[in-house]
Structures are given as structure tokens and as C-alpha cells.
Amino acid sequence: APPFVTLTTVDPGAGVATGNLHIAPGYTDHNLYSFLVGVTDGDFRDSIAVLLDVPETNQLPRLGRWPRDYYLQAGQIDLDLLAPSDPDLGQTARLFVVSGPRFMRVEQNYPEHAILWFKPSYLDVGTTSGTLGATAGYDTVTETFQISVYALPQISPLADVSVAVGETATQEFTAVDADGGTMSLALADGPPYVTLSILESAPGSLRGAIHVSPRNYDVGDADATIALREEQGESQARFHIHVFDP
């Protein structure tokens, strides 16, 4: 018997037995088979011939993606390389978007490769879902997944600072977080005469100030970087400092 055929005794009975013939062929097992099913009581045995016809069955196409949800940063492009396929020879699986947000699309320039393409904006922050389909001939399969878009803080542009020794130059700035998260402020890099202060803070917004107070020995040029941090990560902004001796 072929390997996908199994015979088990359900009830040996008393003169009448019950058995189970289990047949579970795979897609590649299409063929004509013959085998014997036998029975015995220990002294005598009997058998019957079975003719089994397994017809060829069309297999469903495959999207060729690792089953996962997507966690995307607003303002960034995210690409997922897919390998659509159809186990049946001579057929090509084509991918298409069944439903999803406007920032999602699929590109398939070659039969064996496709790219699932995301480009969310800050207006897309939140959670939604997408459904991708694959078709080959008359067969179609779909997969639905979750798409979450988060945003890092956005910092207003910083101006370069030119300041004399012994003086203090102050520059105010604002930051917004489309997620509505609470932000913290830090000096990521810069000389020790640069300090920061928070003027106003609320979930999703912050107004701060940069104070540059150089001494005599600080004459020259330097760069400083401020960082706005929240639960999802941080954003940085950099500016140049020129200190002169009047």
C-alpha cells in the first residue's frame, strides 16, 4: 500500500470486526494505486484487492511572506520582500492588495519576487489592517495582518548660534509627538556651556530653550545635539556654535 494509506482495527469483535482504512494523499500523490486489505483470526486469513485512483488536484498559490504584523515609523519607508509561488508547474502567482491603507502597495516586477511597500506619514499614526492576495489561474488566497504606525518627536528647526564670551544666547524651540506621548529633553552631545530647560510640557507637545553661555577659554567652534525622547524612541536636532572674543 502507498505510505499515505493506513489500516487500523477499531473493534476486533466476536466474529465480526470493525476496521478503519485511512487514506490521506498529498498534492504530489496523484496516481493509480492497487493494494490488498487483509483480515485474520489467527488461523485463517482473507484479503480483498483495492484499486485507488488519486486524481491530480490544483494547489493553492502562496504569498511567500513570513506571517507577521508590521510596526512602522511615520515618515520612513519600509519594504518587505515576498516570494510568491504556485506549486503547480507552469503557473505564476500574482500578488495584489485586497484592502489596506493608502500608504501600502505591492510591486511585482518578476514572477518569483514581489515587494510589499509602506510609506506612512505622521497623519497615519495609529493601528489599521491590510489584506494581501495571491492568485494563480482560478485560485486565490488571502492573508490579513495588522499595521501599526508610530511617530517619533518632531523638533522645530534650530538656528546656528554666534555668541560672545561672557554672554548668554538663548534659543527656544518646540517639539510635537503625533502619538501624544510624554517627551523628555536631553543634551545628546555638546560642550558643557550648553544647557537646556523645559518651558512648557504636555502629552504630545513640548516647548524648550537652549542656553549657550561660553567662558573665555571656550572661544572657537563647536556643535551640539539635543534629543527628545519618548516611549517609541528619540529624535535629535543639531546646531553649530561659534564663540568669539569681542
Query: What are the mean pLDDT values of the chain's consecutive 10-residue runs (246 residues total)?
Result: 87 83 83 87 84 81 85 95 80 89 93 92 94 87 95 95 97 94 95 97 96 96 96 94 94
Q: Which long-range contacts (CB under 8 A, 24 or more apart) does 123-128 make?
A: 124/74, 124/149, 125/74, 125/149, 125/150, 125/151, 125/178, 125/179, 128/100, 128/101
Compute φ and ψ for 221, nearest 5 degrees: -115, 150
CA dihedral 18, 24, 29, 32 (to 10 degrees): 30
Instruction: Provide, for the chain, the percentages of residues in helix, strand and coil under a 3-state DSSP scheme, each rounded to the nearest 5.
Output: 5, 60, 35
pLDDT for 90: 61
Its pTM stands at 0.68
Of the candidates 17, 79, 73, the residue with the CA atom closest to the CA atom of residue 42? 17
Q: How many CB atoms lie within 10 A of CB 129?
A: 14
- Does an H or E element contain 90, and which? none
Query: How far is it, in rounded angstroms, from Cα 139 to Cα 151?
Result: 39
Query: How far is it, in rounded angstroms, from Cα 127 to Cα 150?
Result: 9
The full DSSP string for 187-205 is: EEE--TTEEEEEEEEETTE
The residues, any chain, with a CB within 8 Å of residue 139's CB and separated by 6 or more, are 58, 59, 60, 61
Query: How far is it, in rounded angstroms, from Cα 69 to Cα 33?
Result: 44
Report H helices in the chain: none
The residues, any chain, with a CB within 8 Å of residue 131's CB and separated by 6 or more, are 97, 98, 99, 100, 142, 143, 144, 145
Kind of pairing, strands 70-73 and 139-150? parallel
Query: How far is it, in rounded angstroms, from Cα 222 to Cα 245?
Result: 15
